[in-house]
Amino acid sequence: MVQPLLPDPMAITALERISAAMKLLKQAKRRGVDVKPARPLVAECAKAFKSRDYAGAIRLADGVARYAGGGSASDGFL
């Protein structure tokens, strides 16, 4: 019997953190924060995730969240 493929738990965590960071960035934009300087971080975050560097994607997502005014992307889970 073939075992079903299970997603990498680190990939799931990375996606959650990226999602939370993007939410914080969107909220910052609504508050009038210029989010353009964070765009390169967002792009690097996506690149890291696509290359399966999940730890790097999490680190970059946390950087995006800090820029947006949150402590880290995990703050978006509260």
pLDDT of residue 7: 83
pLDDT of residue 59: 96
CA–CA gap between residue 61 and residue 12 (Å, rounded): 13
Q: Of the candidates 52, 50, 46, 77, which has an alpha carbon nearest to the alpha carbon of residue 64?
A: 46
31, with CB counted inside 10 A (0-12, 13-18, 19+), is: exposed
Per-residue pLDDT of the chain (78 residues; tens, 9 = 90+): 677 777 899 999 999 999 999 999 999 999 999 999 999 999 999 999 999 999 999 999 999 999 988 766 665 544
pLDDT of residue 5: 77
pLDDT of residue 77: 47
Residue type, 20: A
For residue 25, the surrounding DSSP H or E stretch is helix 9-30
CA–CA gap between residue 57 and residue 65 (Å, rounded): 12
